[in-house]
Amino acid sequence: MFSTVMSSCVIGMDSKLVYVEADVSNGMPTFEMVGYLSSEVREAKERVRAAIRNTGITLPPKRITVNLSPADLRKSGSLFDLPIAAALLASLELIDCKNLEDVLIVGELSLSGEIKPVKGILPMAFAAKQYACKKFIVPKANAKEASVMQNIEVIGVETLEEFIQYMKNQKEIKKESINIEEIFSNQKNSSPLDFKDVNGQVLAKRASEIASAGMHNILLIGPPGSGKTMLAKRIPTILPPISLEESIEITKILSISGNLNQDYPLVSNRPFRNPHHTITKTSLIGGGTFIRPGEVSLSHRGVLFLDELPEFNKSVLESIRQPLEDRVVNISKATQSYQFPSNFMLVGAMNPCACGYYPDLNKCCCSETQVLRYLGRISGPLLDRIDICIELPQMKYDELSAKSENESSKDIQDRVVLAHKRQAKRYEGTEIYFNSNLNGNQIAKYCKLTKEVQKYAENIFAKMDLSARVYHRILKVARTIADLEGAKEIEIPHISEAICYKTLDKKYWKR
């Protein structure tokens, strides 16, 4: 007898429909699987055979053929175990085929028949709605995550025996349901980090506030112990809260990568990723044998912090130039292309030389050649993609011992949120969330200058010999400064301050 079960697999950020077909016929007792399968999918036949046997069902000595269609789509992962078992049991008439209509099934089987969680449930839940499925049967551990997708009946099962009983109408399983708005609003986590812990560095705090308000890329330069890492790790505490739409985007990525905490089906905070400088290009950008999102995608809608920036392999650093510009990562393989979002805020921190004390010649022990070689690890095109570059001087004793109360993260965040609300109102109806997302045409529309300001900007452009990319980034930062001050138009002080944040790279790199 022949039967078909609907399943799904994740390709990049999307989910593709897969039909699991099973045929049981007379002939030599074999178990064959076809359909462009990876090794872990081929191994499913042993897991399925053992799980069915340990559930108390004996497979007849017949010829079993399982096909995963479409045949030109590469299938990988262990999520096809349960749909293969379901199709096989339906072919043996142990399950009514009618009960499998309009039902999407995924899940991994253990040899004992236990159903284990799998990756990428949330994208598959969205696809289930697109495929007009009425039910989505998933491992019990994935049920909350799948329930984020409303208007579809999610059934969580723990064992193959329980699944069989449910499909035979011998057991009722309650539909999994959650209130995503309630979970999202109640999940806010308070960080122990706070800007009030940072003494001094007033200019760096101001630059961090501007960067957070517009999600601008920022580079912190200073000697060891000046507070670069301390500041960078507190930036997430002043970022504007994420919206529900952004939360679902982030949760999808974490679901695909397998990093989602199943107890919290929705991410409620902007991600903060801090990879070590020994990271490989594949880990940073994504890819690998089994295509997975990299750090630039895991930090989507949040912060990617690269500490000790020049210590990263130069080819690794250069690989983020395209994601910084296009906000997406494209990975091409021989048989398939994958795309992951990478709309993140880059925060870099670095010493100005190998010993860390340049340009203080009383402390710096590096030659000019060594300094140039060290700074040369950061290329000009990468610097062009950094909106704000700020220097943190060595802290003085009176700054460290100051007893005055510093401004808290909450106070700074309140101003950042107001600036973000102004941006949200301005870009209503578009896909723009922050000023940093503006492209060339949008800059001309939303960053208009008066004749006086335009003439001032023109003079600065000529004197500093700026590239078009740098000029556009100055305008975007100026727009954010204006938003922080509640100004409708970009004025000369806003342009002046934005330009100051792009002159420091010329001090060190002397381009």
What is the mean pLDDT of the segment spanning 43-65?
94
Question: What was the pLDDT predicted at 460?
Answer: 84
Question: What was the pLDDT predicted at 151?
Answer: 82
- Domains in the chain (CATH in brackets) are 2-178 (3.30.230.10), 195-509 (3.40.50.300)
Question: What was the pLDDT predicted at 127?
Answer: 87
Beta strands 303-307 and 103-105, pairing class: unpaired
State the average pLDDT for the chain. 91
- Write the single-letter amino acid at 1: M
What residue spans of 143-301 are helical by DSSP H? 143-146, 160-167, 180-186, 202-214, 228-232, 244-257, 281-285, 295-298
DSSP label at 173?
-
pLDDT at 18 exceeding the cut of 90: yes
pLDDT at 153 exceeding the cut of 70: yes
Question: What was the pLDDT predicted at 431?
Answer: 87
Contact 118, 107 (CB under 8 A): yes
Proportion of the chain above pLDDT 90, given as a percent = 68
Contacts 24+ apart (CB under 8 A), 431-436: 433/215, 433/246, 433/301, 433/343, 434/214, 434/215, 435/214, 435/215, 435/216, 435/476, 435/477, 435/479, 435/480, 435/483, 436/214, 436/215, 436/216, 436/217, 436/345, 436/387, 436/476, 436/480
Beta bridge partners of 135: 103, 153
What is the mean pLDDT of the segment spanning 173-202?
80
Question: What was the pLDDT predicted at 132?
Answer: 86
Phi, psi of 10 (to 5 degrees): -95, 125
Count of CA atoms in the C-beta half-sphere (13 A) of 205: 17
List, for residues 365-412, the tens digit of each pLDDT value: 999 899 999 999 999 899 999 999 999 988 777 767 666 788 999 999
Q: What is the pTM of this model?
A: 0.91
Of the ranges 51-55, 258-262, 379-383, which is most confident? 51-55
Confidence category of residue 446, pLDDT binned at 50, 70, 90: very high
pLDDT at 186 exceeding the cut of 70: no
Phi, psi of 16 (to 5 degrees): -110, 140
List, for residues 290-323, the tens digit of each pLDDT value: 888 999 999 999 999 999 999 999 999 999 999 9
Confidence category of residue 463, pLDDT binned at 50, 70, 90: confident
Query: What do you get for the CA distance between the two ends of the chain, in Å?
Result: 74
Q: Strand, helix or coil at 385?
A: coil
pLDDT at 231 exceeding the cut of 60: yes
List, for residues 80-93, the tens digit of each pLDDT value: 999 999 999 999 99
Proportion of the chain above pLDDT 70, given as a percent = 97
List, for residues 319-371, the tens digit of each pLDDT value: 999 999 999 999 888 778 889 999 999 999 999 999 988 888 888 999 989 99
Confidence category of residue 467, pLDDT binned at 50, 70, 90: confident
Contact 157, 115 (CB under 8 A): yes
- Distance from C-alpha of 461 to C-alpha of 471, rounded to nearest angstrom: 7
Please, what's the b/e burial string for 83-103 (b: 16 or more CB within 10 A of its CB; e: otherwise)?
bbbbbbbbbbeebeeeebeeb
Confidence category of residue 192, pLDDT binned at 50, 70, 90: confident
What is the mean pLDDT of the segment spanning 494-506?
87
Dihedral sign from CA coordinates of 216, 221, 227, 233 = positive
